[in-house]
């Protein structure tokens, strides 16, 4: 959704529903998301177990040490990110006439929580530079004076500048790390392990940076992408090895006369290619997460501008209530 769509004339609730709301089976979405998250966890557990068993084959003492390290990796690089992401609140933007007003109140409270979080983080972590101190000052004033319009304006400014640049830096750093590790590992299992844990922690950092997470449906899509990337990282080595071997053979000449040179060239090409592909997949996950967050923030802003007139609804409720009381009294009289 572009900024032009957000800045267009105010929508009615009916127009918002028609344009942005969708029918969703919340239980099914959450169940699917749980299955995908569990599948990622199983892959990480199996990869760690594979590495631990390899270490045990070489040295029993190192094997026991690797068990402890494996447990720490599983807890802090899988369990902790998934729990933190799931506990982070999301804006309510998929609404109808029955829950729109409550969604507006909830979203307003969440904006205030996000602002408080940014202010606290800036005060407690001086020098990191995620958020501009001057803009954070404006946010603090808006929060203190309970000026919701100024708070929204300042949050938008932070997201459009500071957060955008920081998110780009976080994504770039994670992608480079994934690329380097998977280029050097020469193991599909290790590649799958690093891709999954790095991408989960990338999502966690971006969500923390923005102060809210994407919707359940969007998180299910993001986790599915992580799972697919993990499988690609695991299976990519054999395919690339075949291509690089064919490429080296086509060179001929010197490579044929020096077999070791051919092997070195093949390994180098394969490693670099794996690193580039896995880094690119990580960038895609980061930008997918960021895209959903931007969309949800813009949608809640559109929803907040809608004036919801519930007088007619309340009048109908009172009318139904009166009819029920009246009919109940008549039935009691008839029974007597």
List, as one string, the DSSP characters of 219-274. HHHHHHHHHHHHHHHHHHHHHHHHHHHHHHHHH-THHHH-HHHHHHHHHHHHHHHH
Distance separating alpha carbons of residues 228 and 102, to the nearest angstrom: 37
Positive or negative, the CA dihedral 189, 214, 298, 108 is negative
pLDDT tens-digit readout, 83-135: 999 999 999 999 988 899 999 999 999 999 999 999 999 988 866 678 988 99
**Mean pLDDT computed over 227-255:** 65
pLDDT tens-digit readout, 43-74: 999 999 999 999 999 999 999 999 999 999 99
Burial-class residue 6 by CB neighbours within 10 Å (0-12, 13-18, 19+): middle
Distance separating alpha carbons of residues 318 and 172, to the nearest angstrom: 57
Count of beta carbons in the 10 Å neighbourhood of residue 207: 22
Answer with the residue of higher pLDDT: 232 or 4.
Answer: 232
For residue 90, list its beta bridge partners: 213
Q: Is the pLDDT of residue 167 over 60?
A: yes
- Cβ neighbors of 163 (< 8 A, separation 6 or more) are 130, 131, 209, 210
- Among the listed residues 172, 236, 162, 158, the one whose alpha carbon sits nearest the alpha carbon of residue 202: 172
For residue 213, list its beta bridge partners: 90
Q: Is the pLDDT of residue 228 over 80?
A: yes
- Cβ neighbors of 301 (< 8 A, separation 6 or more) are 6, 152, 156
Q: Quick check: 113 and 35 in contact, CB under 8 A?
A: no
**What's the gap between Cα 293 and its chain centre?**
8
pTM above 0.75, yes or no: yes
Q: Is the pLDDT of residue 307 over 90?
A: no
pLDDT tens-digit readout, 113-125: 999 999 999 988 8
Residue 262's pLDDT band, with cuts at 50, 70 and 90, is: very low
Supply the pLDDT for residue 314.
63
**What's the gap between Cα 38 and its chain centre?**
16
Count of beta carbons in the 10 Å neighbourhood of residue 107: 24
């Amino acid at each position: 959704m572009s900024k032009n769509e957000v800045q267009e004339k105010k929508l009615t609730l009916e127009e918002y529903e028609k344009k942005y709301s969708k029918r969703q089976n919340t239980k099914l979405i959450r169940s699917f998301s749980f299955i995908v998250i569990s599948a990622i966890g199983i892959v990480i557990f199996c990869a760690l177990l594979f590495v631990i068993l390899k270490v045990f084959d070489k040295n029993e003492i190192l094997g026991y040490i690797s068990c402890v390290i494996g447990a720490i990796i599983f807890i802090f690089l899988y369990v902790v990110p998934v729990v933190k992401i799931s506990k982070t609140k999301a804006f309510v933007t998929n609404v109808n006439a029955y829950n729109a007003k409550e969604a507006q109140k909830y979203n307003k409270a969440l904006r205030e929580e996000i602002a408080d979080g940014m202010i606290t983080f800036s005060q407690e972590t001086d020098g990191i530079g995620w958020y501009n101190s001057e803009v954070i000052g404006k946010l603090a004033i808006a929060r203190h004076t309970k000026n919701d319009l100024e708070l929204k304006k300042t949050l938008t400014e932070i997201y459009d500048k500071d957060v955008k640049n920081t998110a780009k830096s976080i994504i770039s750093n994670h992608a480079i790390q994934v690329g380097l590790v998977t280029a050097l590992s020469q193991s599909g299992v290790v590649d799958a392990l690093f891709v999954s844990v790095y991408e989960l922690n990338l999502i966690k950092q971006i969500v923390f940076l923005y102060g809210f997470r994407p919707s359940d449906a969007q998180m299910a899509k993001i986790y599915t992408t992580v799972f697919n990337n993990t499988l690609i990282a695991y299976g990519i080595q054999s395919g690339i090895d075949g291509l690089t071997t064919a490429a080296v053979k086509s060179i001929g000449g010197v490579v044929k006369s020096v077999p070791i040179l051919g092997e070195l060239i093949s390994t180098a090409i394969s490693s670099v290619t794996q690193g580039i592909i896995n880094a690119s997949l990580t960038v895609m996950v980061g930008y997918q997460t960021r895209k959903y967050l931007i969309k949800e923030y813009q949608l809640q802003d559109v929803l907040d501008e809608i004036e919801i007139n519930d007088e007619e609804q309340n009048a109908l409720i009172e009318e139904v209530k009166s009819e029920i009381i009246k009919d109940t009294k008549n039935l009691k009289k008839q029974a007597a």
